[in-house]
Amino acid sequence: MASSFPTAELCDANQSLLSKGELQVVPPIFQIYGQRRAFSGPIVTLKVFEDNVLVREVLENPGDGRVLVVDGGGSRRCALVGGNLGLLAHNMGWAGILVNGCIRDVDEINGCDVGVRALGSNPLKSNKKGLGEKHESVNIGGMVIQEGEWLYADGDGILISKMELSV
């Protein structure tokens, strides 16, 4: 499901939420991948470090239009999402994936109807130990993001909201 309204309009229409900190702008550190340039949905959180076993486990569940936020600790030493996981996210109905880390198989991911944001790409695959935490608060770009909050992304940027937004 694409975002109903551009992030700029959502910011303009929700000044009070911005001033109260209930709507936040994610620092502009992420690259845009995937066919879905604009996407939104309730957040599922995951914290891993250079290990993507739990990323696969989460994406194997029905997405129901949700967005997976993966706190990879900002590591650029390997990829946490590749083409197979991009296709899995698309097939399972996820709206998007935000990766505080790297992806690989960029051409494959760009062929998937899913929105992906990541710090960059790295051809090296991750470890496969299954370490990490699901459904916990994550810290991305100095922002604490909670499971169940809403993510809105488009070409202008990424917003995190405590609630579903309208204009």
**What are 4's two structure tokens?**
């109903």
The angle subtended at Cα 75 by Cα 6 and Cα 95, nearest 5°, is 30
CB-based contacts of 89, cutoff 8 Å, min separation 6? 59, 63, 68, 96, 97, 112, 114
Name the residue among 152, 148, 142 with its Cα closest to residue 11: 152
Q: What is the 3-state secondary structure (H, E, C) of 133-154?
A: EECCCEEECCEEECCCCEEEEE
Neighbours of 26 (CB within 10 A): 23
Known binding-site positions: 82-85, 104-105
CB-based contacts of 91, cutoff 8 Å, min separation 6? none
Known binding-site positions for substrate: 82-85, 104
Known binding-site positions for Mg(2+): 105
